[in-house]
Structure 1
Amino acid sequence: MLYLDKLITQLAYPLGLSLALCCLALLLLGLRRRRLAAASLLVAVGWLGVWSLPVVSDALRWSLEGRFEARPVAALPAADAVVVLGGGMRAPPPGRPYPDLGAGADRAWQAARLFHAGKADIVILSGGRFAWQGERPSEAEAMRAFLRDLGVPDTALRLEGRSRNTRENAVETARLLAASGLERVLLVTSALHMPRALASFRATGVEVIPAPTDFEVMPEPAHPLRWLPDAAALADSTRALKEYLGLWVYRWRGWAD
Structure 2
Amino acid sequence: MAKMSEKQSPKTGTVSELPSSASSSIRQGFWDVTPSLLVVAVMVIWSAIFGGRSTAERAITDFAMPLGLCWLTGLWAVTFCLRRRRWLIGSICLLFWLLLTLGSSNYIANALGQYVRYVPQTDPASEIEQPLDAIVLLGGYAYPNRFNVAELGSDGQRLLLAAQLLHANKTKTVICTGTSASGQSHPSAIGKQMLVSLGGDPGVIFEAPGFNTDAEMQSLQEFFSKPPDDWLALTGGEKEAGDDSGVDAAGYRLGLVTSATHMPRALRLSKTVGLNFEPLPCCLAGGGGPFNPRSLIPNAGAAKNVSASFKEVLAKLVGR
- Normalising by structure 2, we get a TM-score of 0.61
Q: Deviations over 1:109-138 (max 9, x none)?
A: 11111122222211100111013xxx5220
Residue identity opposite 1:42 in structure 2: L
State the match for 1:229 in structure 2. 298
1:156 matched to 2:156? The reply is no
Say if 1:174 and 1:206, in contact at 8 Å, map to a contact too: yes
Match for residue 56 of structure 1?
Answer: 108
Q: One-letter code of the match for 1:100?
A: E
How far apart, in 1, do the equivalents of 2:175 and 2:159 lie? 11
Say whether the 8 Å CA contact 2:254–2:278 is kept in structure 1: yes
Specify the alignment match of 1:11 in structure 2: none
Contact 1:73–1:117, Cα closer than 8 Å, also in 2: no
Cα offsets for 1:196-248 (capped at 9, x unmatched): 01111122111211011111324222232222222211111111101111222
The one-letter code of the counterpart of 1:145 is Q
Which amino acid letter does the alignment assign opposite residue 212 of structure 2?
N
- Look up the equivalent residue of 1:152 and give its one-letter code: G
1:136/1:179 Cα in 2 relative to 1: closer, same or farther (>3 Å)? same
The correspondence for 2:259, drawn from 190, 209, 220, is 190
TM-score for both structures, normalised by structure 1: 0.75
**Backbone CA RMSD of aligned residues:** 2.4
Name the aligned partner's letter for residue 175 of structure 1: E
Equivalent pairs, count: 214
* 8 Å Cα contact 1:184/1:206 also seen in 2: no
Kindly indicate whether the alpha-carbon contact (under 8 Å) linking 2:255 and 2:279 is maintained by their aligned counterparts in 1: yes
Q: State the alpha-carbon separation in 2 of the partners of residues 233 and 53 from structure 1.
A: 5
Structure label with greater radius of gyration = 2
| Greater displacement, 212-221 / 50-59 | 212-221
Between 41-50 and 209-218, report the one with greater CA deviation: 41-50
Output the amino acid matched with 1:138. Answer: H
- The 5 Å alignment of 1:45-84 reads 45-65=97-117, 67-69=119-121, 71=123, 73-77=125-129, 78-84=131-137
- Distance in 2, matches of 1:70 and 1:86, equals 25
SS in 1 for 2:255: strand
CA distance, structure 2, for counterparts of residue 44 and residue 97 of structure 1: 40
Matched, 1:139 2:192: no
Question: Which stretches in structure 2 are left out of the alignment for 5+ residues?
Answer: 1-66, 68-85, 228-237, 239-249
User: Are the equivalent residues in 1 in contact too, given 2:114–2:287 (CA < 8 A)?
Assistant: no
Among 196, 216, 221, which residue is 1:174 paired with? 221
For the residue of structure 2 that corresponds to 1:90, the secondary structure is strand
Pick from 90, 96, 110 the counterpart of residue 161 of structure 2: 110
